[in-house]
Amino acid sequence: MYMYNGKILPINAPFEINGTWYPDNWLQLTTAAEKEAVGIIQVADKPAPPYFDGQYYDDVDLPKPLDNVLEGEETIRRGLKPQWTEEFKKLTNLYLQPTDWVVLRKLERNIDIPEVIAAYRAAVLVEGNRIVDAIKAATTAEEVKAAINSQQWPVYN
């Protein structure tokens, strides 16, 4: 990155110094000596901040709390485990919704549920429960993340 009088100069954009305009490619085409003659210095780019997954961490080495943070009786911050448990219960219900009408038909008119649909619904419940159990058993944010990333929902045709 290039600077003039403490101001960062844009790359691939024209800029002005002391009333003189420089074209957008000037910084790429000139030598270090030509830049220095005008008063432009090259400085190291700031390193990118370290990456962390904001779904599971508040900062690089600071995982979000696993359980709800309470102040008296009031929850002031949801933990990863209650948050993701609720999400996967909702997701399980979403996977069941396309076949809910068959269950209602069974209740209202006593028409049997086809085996393929019964098997699909059972597989959805097993997978949803497996993920929720893994989330609840997690002792670290990484274990919660691994549980979430392990999902293998059945396919309904």
**What pLDDT score was predicted for residue 125?**
98
Tell me which H or E stretch contains 128: helix 115-137
Q: Are residues 69 and 10 in the same domain?
A: no
pLDDT bucket at 65, cuts 50 / 70 / 90: very high
Q: Are residues 140 and 81 in the same domain?
A: yes
In the chain, pLDDT over 90 holds for what percent of residues?
82
Other Cβ atoms closer than 10 A to 85 = 17
Does the residue 77 lie in any domain? yes
Does the residue 120 lie in any domain? yes
Tell me which H or E stretch contains 42: strand 41-42
Q: Are residues 34 and 102 in the same domain?
A: no
Each residue's pLDDT tens digit, 76-135: 889 999 999 999 999 999 999 999 999 999 999 999 999 999 999 999 999 999 999 999
Three-state secondary structure call for residue 20: strand
- The residue among 81, 85, 55, 56 whose CA lies nearest residue 67 is 81
**What pLDDT score was predicted for residue 120?**
98
Does the residue 11 lie in any domain? yes
Does the residue 154 lie in any domain? no
pLDDT bucket at 57, cuts 50 / 70 / 90: very high
Q: Are residues 63 and 138 in the same domain?
A: yes
**What pLDDT score was predicted for residue 115?**
96
Three-state secondary structure call for residue 95: helix
Task: Please state the domain count of the chain.
Answer: 2
Residue numbers of the domain that contains 27? 2-42
Other Cβ atoms closer than 10 A to 141 = 20
pLDDT of residue 64 exceeding 90? yes
Q: Are residues 73 and 140 in the same domain?
A: yes
Three-state secondary structure call for residue 41: strand
Q: Are residues 35 and 63 in the same domain?
A: no
